[in-house]
């Protein structure tokens, strides 16, 4: 049935005609109304005062109640309900959230803890009042625009006259219909200093600062606009070799959720931790006891990689301007706030100027009225009009108004406006006692003081920018103490999860059938690995692929090499000789595998069917060996045995075809001599906690190691080892006396030669 036929409602449009409302039309109209309400009246803050409607009503209600003393929050909620159309629960939650910002509300009692996630006590048990800061920056009935409340009984502010970038100081978060906002909090002191720079027409850049501390990487902040991102990290300290302590937590994370994330990562085998204890009291402290033989440095990296010790936050600065949502940068918001503050200060000065001028005018009229005894002129007046006329005539002798036409030599007192009947009425209300005790000298002093104040106000209006700067500087002086930056700005190194995850699995291979995995325990053991590692497997047919480790993965039959693959590894070099089945040539190549698409099969040959690998080696430090090539006895080659040095080849990409080694049939290729690295020496460190070697600068630097360089390890029982560096080998640090780079020319190595290596 067409929706144009579904008659839902008939309304008289005023012209005597019926208007058809369709069901689709109802949905569209009602949904737009609802969306507009949620955006404007609930979820998104105004750019002018930085408040959502419920927050604005709370602060307005507290100002109406303000008498300098604390009020029960239950009473504040009740007072706010006069202005807010929702129930007490919504108001209470918003009030507690506002109080926890520690800026506008002076809290007393248990208001909860954003660090631990503890909720506040019941509204009847906690109290609060407006802070002195709030009273100074947020309220002025003379500069406030008002509107009727939802029920039309009272008036409420459209926006509070906020003379401070509150939105950026507190931050805001809300989800509306079709859009959301997430503005991160910024530092109080930095905002004021940035506002001063804006008033000086200088560009500024501001970054978030969280009450929970920690560190933040703002390299991709993009001014808090959509598409930006920040990374926030907890502060982790090494207490001793077996204990870590989390001192600060990321913004938006509680100590309980952080502890849970650590426990879950431990249960999954990502990190090795013995015990986690939350000791948070006045300060945050989560104690982490490490498993024996676990490196604190590696564990810290693992905590950042696998737990909520590091979180990513995507800001989205959406604000309401003139009843419309806008997406801005935080710098644009700050500039709007700063200009708004300047405008409000101007309006306050103009109001003050007008009030002072009115005081000066009446003080001057009063002085003339009494000194010139005009009050005696009204004693014989019989009507009220006659009284007013007598006062007017009496004053005209001594004052001149803008509507008068004074003579050039007119010495009468010049007034800034015309006199009104209200002025005459006020003069008649002066009591006889005041007239009798009138002191002309004090009156002159009062007028002089008013003129001095007026002069200062005029000066401030003429130098409004300087006045606004002084205003911000005064705020900083009065309220800036104790509001220093808590979150450290830093650039985080990218942590590769595969490099810090604990080895919680073992890799096996079935070379003939082409399977790899952790469940093939009856087949060949390859190495220890983690359950997030990626495995590279090369086959006899000259093809390879990289797959994520699992229980059992098929990668193709006749595997010749399998190992854990590290993305971006430009040191591991593969030396290869393959037979091209189409030309019959044997091709030699050297290549790296730094980037791939997982589970995709790559061909290292020219792609011709029946091509095969004749020789293959994997070299972790770019070594280039010498091979001996034995050709088929039946070949026509004059030289059927020759050596080939891989150093003659450049390291290229995996798709390179390689160089021609020989065009004759090859019978056999064997390694003749192990070569040295062609990409330079590699530095190795020794971690005396885990007992393992590494290239990640953890522990003590042992030196630069090239191919042919060895380590010397001396043990307490008198044994020793001379061996090549190997990241997979673990030393027993309790039995180890020393480990160093082996040098046969030094006496400290006991002149040990390679022939005495343990295990040979």
- The residues carrying an active-site annotation are 125
Measured between its terminal Cα atoms, the distance across the chain in Å is 89
- Helix, strand, or coil (residue 475): helix
Rounded to whole angstroms, the Cα distance separating 68 from 78 reads 19
In residues, how long is the chain? 760
Contact (CB, 8 A) for 238 and 244? yes
Nearest residue to 343 (alpha-carbon basis) of 539, 72, 123, 161: 161
Strand pairing class (172-175; 641-645): unpaired
Give the C-alpha separation, 155 to 157, whole Å. 7
Q: Report the helix count and the strand count for the chain, using DSSP H and E.
A: 16, 43
Q: What angle do CA 446, 450, 451 make, to 5 degrees?
A: 115
Determine the Cα angle at 668 with ends 667 and 673, to 5°.
150
CA angle 180, 184, 187 (to 5 degrees): 155
Helix (H, G, I), strand (E, B) or coil at 348: helix
Q: Tokens 């003069």 label which residue?
A: 427
d(CA 93, CA 84): 13
Q: 668, 613, 617: which is closest to 646 by C-alpha?
A: 617
Place of tokens 């100002």: 63
Q: Among residues 374, 357, 328, which one has the least CA distance to residue 417?
A: 357
d(CA 65, CA 74): 13
Long-range contacts of 291-296 (CB under 8 A, 24+ apart): 292/242, 293/689, 293/690, 293/691, 293/730, 294/242, 294/689, 294/690, 295/687, 295/689, 295/690, 295/692, 295/698, 296/238, 296/241, 296/244, 296/689
CA nearest neighbour of 186 among 168, 166, 198: 168
Evaluate whether 375 touches 369 at the Cβ level (below 8 Å). Answer: yes
| Measured distance CA(145)–CA(349) in Å, rounded | 17
**DSSP-derived secondary structure for 125-173:** T-EEEE-HHHHHHS--GGG-EEEE-TTSSSEEEEE----S-HHHHH-EE
């Amino acid at each position: 049935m067409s929706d144009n036929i579904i008659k839902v409602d008939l309304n008289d449009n005023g012209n005597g005609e019926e208007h058809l409302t369709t069901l689709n039309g109802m949905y569209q109209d009602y949904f737009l109304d609802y969306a507009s309400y949620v955006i404007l009246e609930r979820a998104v803050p105004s750019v002018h005062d930085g408040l959502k409607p419920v927050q604005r009503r709370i602060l307005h209600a507290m100002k109406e109640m303000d008498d300098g003393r604390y009020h029960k929050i239950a009473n504040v909620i009740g007072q706010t309900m006069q202005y807010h159309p929702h129930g007490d629960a919504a108001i209470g939650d918003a009030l507690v959230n506002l109080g926890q910002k520690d800026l506008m509300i002076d809290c007393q009692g248990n208001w909860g803890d954003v660090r631990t996630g503890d909720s506040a006590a019941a509204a009847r048990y906690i109290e609060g009042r407006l802070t002195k800061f709030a009273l100074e920056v947020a309220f002025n009935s003379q500069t406030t625009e008002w509107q009727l409340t939802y029920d039309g009984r009272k008036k409420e502010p459209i926006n509070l006259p906020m003379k401070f970038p509150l939105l950026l100081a507190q931050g805001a978060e809300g989800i509306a219909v079709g859009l959301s906002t997430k503005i991160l909090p910024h530092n109080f002191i930095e905002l004021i200093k940035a506002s001063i720079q804006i008033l000086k027409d200088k560009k500024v850049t501001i970054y978030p600062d969280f009450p929970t501390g920690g560190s933040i990487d703002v390299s991709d902040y993009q001014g808090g606009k959509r598409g930006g991102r920040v990374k926030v990290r907890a502060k982790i300290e090494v207490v001793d070799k077996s204990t870590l302590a989390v001192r600060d937590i990321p913004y938006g994370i509680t100590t309980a959720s952080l502890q849970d994330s650590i426990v879950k990562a431990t249960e999954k085998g990502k990190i090795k931790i013995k015990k986690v204890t939350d000791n948070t009291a006045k300060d945050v402290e989560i104690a982490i006891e490490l498993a024996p033989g676990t490196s604190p440095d590696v564990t810290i990296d693992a905590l950042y990689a696998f737990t909520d010790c590091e979180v990513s936050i995507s800001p989205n600065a959406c604000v309401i301007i003139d009843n419309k949502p806008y997406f801005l940068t935080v710098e644009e918001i700050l500039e709007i706030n700063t200009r708004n503050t300047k405008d409000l200060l101007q309006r306050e000065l103009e109001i003050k100027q007008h009030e002072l001028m009115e005081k000066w005018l009446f003080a001057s009229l009063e002085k003339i009225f009494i000194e010139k005894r005009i009050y005696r002129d009204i004693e014989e007046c019989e009507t009220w009009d006659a009284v007013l006329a007598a006062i007017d005539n009496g004053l005209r002798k001594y004052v001149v108004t803008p509507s008068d036409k004074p003579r050039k030599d007119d010495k009468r007192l010049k007034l800034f406006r015309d006199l009104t009947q209200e002025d005459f009425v006020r003069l008649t209300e002066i009591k006889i006692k005041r007239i009798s005790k009138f002191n002309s000298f004090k009156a002159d002093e009062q007028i002089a003081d008013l003129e001095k104040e007026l002069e200062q106000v005029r000066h401030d209006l003429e130098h409004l920018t300087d006045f606004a700067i002084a205003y911000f500087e005064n705020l900083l002086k009065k309220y800036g103490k104790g509001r220093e930056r808590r979150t450290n700005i830093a650039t985080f190194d990218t942590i590769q999860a595969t490099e810090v995850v604990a080895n919680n699995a073992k890799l096996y291979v079935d070379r003939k059938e082409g399977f790899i995995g952790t469940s093939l325990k009856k087949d060949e053991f390859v190495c220890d690995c983690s359950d997030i590692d990626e495995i590279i497997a090369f086959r006899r047919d000259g093809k390879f692929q990289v797959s994520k480790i699992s229980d059992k993965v098929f990668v193709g039959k006749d595997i010749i090499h399998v190992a854990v693959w590290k993305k971006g590894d430009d040191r591991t070099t593969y030396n290869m000789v393959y037979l091209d089945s189409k030309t019959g040539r044997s091709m030699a190549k050297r290549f790296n595998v730094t980037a791939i698409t997982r589970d995709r099969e790559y061909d290292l040959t020219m792609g011709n069917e029946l091509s095969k690998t004749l020789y293959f080696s994997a070299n972790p430090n770019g070594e280039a060996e010498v091979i001996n090539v034995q050709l088929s006895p039946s070949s026509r080659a004059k030289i059927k045995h020759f050596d080939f040095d891989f150093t003659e080849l450049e390291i290229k990409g995996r798709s390179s075809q390689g160089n021609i080694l020989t065009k004759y049939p090859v019978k056999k290729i064997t390694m003749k001599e192990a070569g040295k690295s062609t990409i330079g020496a590699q530095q190795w460190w020794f971690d005396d906690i885990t007992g393992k070697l590494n290239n990640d600068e953890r522990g003590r630097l042992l030196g630069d190691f090239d191919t042919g360089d060895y380590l010397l390890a001396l043990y307490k029982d008198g044994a020793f080892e001379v061996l090549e560096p190997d990241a997979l080998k673990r030393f027993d640090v309790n039995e180890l006396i020393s480990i160093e780079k082996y040098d046969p020319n030094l006496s400290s190595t006991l002149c040990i030669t390679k022939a005495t290596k343990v295990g040979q």
